[in-house]
Amino acid sequence: MRITTAVLLALASIPATSIPAAANAAPACRTISAEVAMTSSGPADQRVAGTLCLPRGRAATVQLLIPGGFYGQAYWRMRGDRQRPSYVETMTAAGYATLAIDRLGTGASSYPPSARFGQDTHQIVIRRLIRQLREGRLGGGRFAKVVLVGHSLGSTLARTVAAAHPAEVDGVILTGESSVPNEAAFEQMGAGIYRAADDPRFAGRGLDDGYLTTRPGLRATWFYHRPNAEPKVIAADEATKTTDVFPPGDSYTPPSINKRIQAPVLIVNGEHDKLLAGARSSAAALHAQEAPFYGPRAKLETVLVPGTGHVLNGHRTAPHWFAQAREWADRRVGGAAR
């Protein structure tokens, strides 16, 4: 089995119950279960689980939060600084609604046979969720604007949807992904991926060989810059892994499609992300690297987070990029409840 770039662009997540409450009030959240199809013409016979969080007042904008490979919606409730708000809490406090999801084959979502996944299954699901959010079918009323927020593989999916269907997306935040992945690092990390059925955590669940997970210790080695991450956060990350499915082939969409994106784009990466090559010295260098792939309507902006590895939300620096993303959303998208 060839481990592709997309398979290995993994994210970490921590269940909300394992993290102490922040000092500020928690947002009003509800679990959702959305009916989705795996193909453009197929039946809506699968369900995507998620958590919809609403701010006080009526928000016109919702952020659809897409986690990366092997992890689920709880990534967006993770606190690298355990005394500061999570991404969800930061955005709802700013007046934005958020919907964090478990992609099919992860978390609390459906686990269909891996052979049913197509190269565009995840994109089809994201588009259906966008439509349901705009139509008010997931609670919280109708949302006029939808921002796609991804990390790692979730970022690949976000920009792919935004490029293929530009009229459906009002903003894009891409984290833990760039136009220059570190292919050598992915090859080395490939040994840390194996069948979920071989892992004691998932044994007995009847998952077929297309379901994969990470070997113990992989996250600490590849996803963190340890001097700036709490050992308890890393340990909780390791203890709460889940499975994932990746169709045959490489689902890392080349950056050449990015010029089709018509919405504002923010790229956020960590200085010490081992899975990215290219510019990691400054935000300006990152902008110079990525700008040729985007058109003027993207109004591209970039953030490089110092002292931070691949799992941005798992580092003590997380609140800093949360604040920058919040300011960007206010300025470039708007629609927050006031």
Dig out the tokens for 251 from the structure. Answer: 């689902």
pLDDT in tens, 164-197: 999 999 999 999 999 999 999 999 999 999 999 9
Closest CA to 9 of 253, 303, 263, 282: 253
pLDDT given for residue 71 in this prediction: 86
Q: d(Cα 71, Cα 75) in Å, to the nearest integer?
A: 7
Kindly tell me if the per-residue pLDDT of 18 is higher than 60. Answer: no
Kindly tell me if the per-residue pLDDT of 24 is higher than 80. Answer: no
pLDDT given for residue 27 in this prediction: 78
pLDDT given for residue 12 in this prediction: 35
Contact 44, 36 (CB under 8 A): yes
Mean pLDDT along residues 107-132: 97
pLDDT given for residue 41 in this prediction: 95
Mean pLDDT along residues 199-211: 94
Kindly tell me if the per-residue pLDDT of 229 is higher than 70. Answer: yes
Report the DSSP pairing between strands 61-66 and 193-195. Answer: unpaired
Count of beta carbons in the 10 Å neighbourhood of residue 265: 28
Contact 270, 314 (CB under 8 A): no
Q: d(Cα 105, Cα 117) in Å, to the nearest integer?
A: 10
**Alpha-carbon torsion angle 103, 251, 236, 174, nearest 10:** -90
Closest CA to 211 of 112, 128, 122: 112
The side-by-side arrangement of strands in the sheet containing 244-245 is 193-195, 211-214, 244-245
Report the DSSP pairing between strands 244-245 and 61-66. Answer: unpaired
Lowest-pLDDT choice from 98-112, 146-160, 189-203, 242-256: 242-256
Mean pLDDT along residues 297-312: 98
pTM: 0.93
pLDDT given for residue 320 in this prediction: 96
Dig out the tokens for 62 from the structure. Answer: 């919702």
pLDDT given for residue 250 in this prediction: 62
Mean pLDDT along residues 129-142: 96
pLDDT given for residue 249 in this prediction: 66
